[in-house]
Amino acid sequence: MMRRGIPVSPGVVVGTAYCIDQVFAPTTAECLSDGEIASELARYQAARHRVAGELHALQRKVSRQVGPDEAAIFAMHESILRDVAFTERVEQWISEERMPACAALRRLLEEYTHLFERTTDEYLRERVNDLRDVVVRLSAHLSEVLHPHDRQPLPQPLILVADELLPSQAVVLGDLEVQGIVTQAGSQTSHAAIIARSRGIPAVCGVSSILRHIHTGDPIIVDGRAGTVIIRPDAETTAAYRKLEREYLHLKDALAANRDVPAVTGDGIPLQLLANINSTADARAAEAMGASGVGLFRTEYLYLTHPSVPDEGEQLEAYQAVVDASPNRSVTIRTLDIGGDKTVPYLGVRHREANPFMGWRSIRLSFEHPDFFAAQIRAILAAAAYAAKKGGEVRILFPMISNLEEIRRVRAMVRRARRDLAQRGLEVPATPLGMMIEVPAAAVSIDTLLPFVDFVSIGSNDLVQYLMAADRDNPKVSHLCQPLAPAVLRVLHHVITACLESNTPVTLCGEMAGHPRAFLLLLGMGLRSFSMSPAWISSIKNLAARVTIPQAREIFERAMKLKTTGRVRRFLGKRLAEIAPDLAMMEVD
C-alpha cells in the first residue's frame, strides 16, 4: 500500500514502523488478568501521586518566576487530577473491564472529547484541552515513553509514525535509533520536519490517516524526496528501494568527507555555512558536519522540553553547554519564539486564538512578561561573557520584529539587563543585537530599521506564510507557502540588497537556506551567509564549490523574469542538474 504526503527531508529508508501518539498509549490493549488488576490499580495511583507533586511544584515555580495568573493553569490541572469522578471512572474500567490504565485514560479522554467537540462554548473546549494535558502527563508516567508497547525489541531501523511529533516527545528520541519519520499532520516547517532535517533522516509529513493503516512492527519504506510511504511492501519493491537507500547513504558519506574543507564558491569567494540548532546535541552535529558556527539557536525548545519552567541559572547552564559544543564557540541565540504551533501553558499560550500565527506570540508575548523576558536576556548576556573568555562570540537575535518601536524596546531591556549583571559583578562584552525579518512590514521598511541593529537574520519560514497569507500547517493552503514564489524572491532580494548597501551582516536562517535550488538563487542575490540544518551543510558546501558568482547571478536574473512558482522551480531544477546532477537526490520534490 502506498500513501503520499509532503516530502520534508530527503533520502530513502527501509525499516520497521513504530507508532506513537500524544498520550503514548497503544490503540488496542489486551485485557488484564485477575492477578494484574491490583498491581495496575497501584500503578495508576502511584502515577497520580507523582503527577500531583509535579503540578504542585510547577504551580509554585511558575507563580514565583512568571506570575500567579499564569500559574493558575496548573492549579486547574491538579483539581482535575484530584476529581473523584475522574479517578472513579478510570479505576472502574481497570477493575471491572480489565483495561490497562493507559487505555482507560484514553477512553475517558475520547468520551469527553466526543461530548464537547460540537459545542461552541469556549470554556468547555478549554476544559477538554486541560483534561488532555492531565491525561498526557499521567500516561507518560504509566508507559515507557517511546519504547515498544510489547516491550520486545523491534527489527532495526525504526521508522517513527505519529499523528504529529511534539517537542516533548522529540526530546527522548535519542533513546531510539530512529532512521525515518512519518506524520499525519505537519508541513515542511513543522517540528517533525525540522528534527528530521537536523538529523539528516528521511521524513514525510501530512500523510492523511496513515495510523489507520499501519501498526507497530509493520515493514515500511519512506522516500523523503518523493513524499511517498509504502506500507508492507512486497519483496520486489523492497529490493528496489534498498538499492536507492544504499545510493543515498553512499552519497551522504561522500559529501561528509568535505567537513574540513573551507566553504568557498567555484571562483574562490568565501561563504559562511552556519547551523540551525535546537540543542547541545545539534551543536555537536554542526561541529561534525563542518559548520563555521551556529546561526540560529532556537531557545524555545529548552522551554518546550523542560519539565517545568527553566530558571535563569538553568538557562545559562544550557547556553554555556551549547557554546562549548558549537563550532568556533560562535552562537547566535534567538530569544523565546513561543506561540503559533509552539505552546507552553505557563505563559497562557493554549491555542485560544483564532489565528495564533498572527497573534500573541514570539516577541509580543515576551513583552507581556517583562520579568520573564529579562531573565532570558540576562542568561544570554552571561553566556556571551562566558563565550568571550573562551575566544568565542554570542549574538542575540530577536524574533518577529515588526517596527522600530520594538527594536528600541528590546535595546532598552538589554541595557537594563547589562546593568543588573554589572551590579552582580559580571562585565559583559559588547554583544551584537539583531532582528529577524519575518514580518512583511519589517521587510518593506528594512532601510529604516537597519541603523538600529548590528545584524539581520531572515526567517524565511514565517516570512513566506505571511507574504502569501497562508498558514503553512493548513493542508488546504500550504501549497501556497512556496519559498520560490516570485513574490517571495522579490522581497528577499529587497532585504538582502538593503543589508549589503548598508554593510549590515545578513544571514538567511530559514529552511530554504539548505535547499540546493534556493541556494543558487540566494547566492545570485548577493547572500554570503547561510544557516541551515546541520545535515545540509556538506551538500551545500559541495554545491558552492561547483558554481561561480557570475553563474549564480545569471541564474538569479533569469529566474526573476519568470512569472510563476512552477516555472521557477523547473528552471532551477534544470540548472541544478547541469551543475551538480548527483545532488538531485538531496532535493525534495
**Alpha helices (H) in 390-485, listed in sequence order:** 404-423, 440-444, 446-449, 460-468
Count of residues making up the chain: 589
Residue 557: which residues within 8 A CB-CB, separation 6 or more? 524
Radius of gyration, alpha carbons of the chain: 25
Does residue 173 contact residue 195 with C-beta atoms inside 8 Å? yes
- In angstroms, the CA 554 to CA 542 distance is 20
Surface-to-core class of residue 423, CB atoms within 10 Å of its CB (0-12 exposed, 13-18 middle, 19+ buried): exposed
Q: Walk across the sheet containing 178-183 and list its strands.
A: 2-4, 228-231, 219-223, 12-19, 158-162, 178-183, 203-205, 6-9
- In angstroms, the CA 90 to CA 82 distance is 12
**Alpha helices (H) in 171-234, listed in sequence order:** 191-199
DSSP string covering 141-160, please?
A: HHS-TTS-TTSSPPPSSEEE
Joined together, the cell numbers standing for residue 208 give: 492523511
Active site residues: 191, 509
Does residue 589 contact residue 566 with C-beta atoms inside 8 Å? no
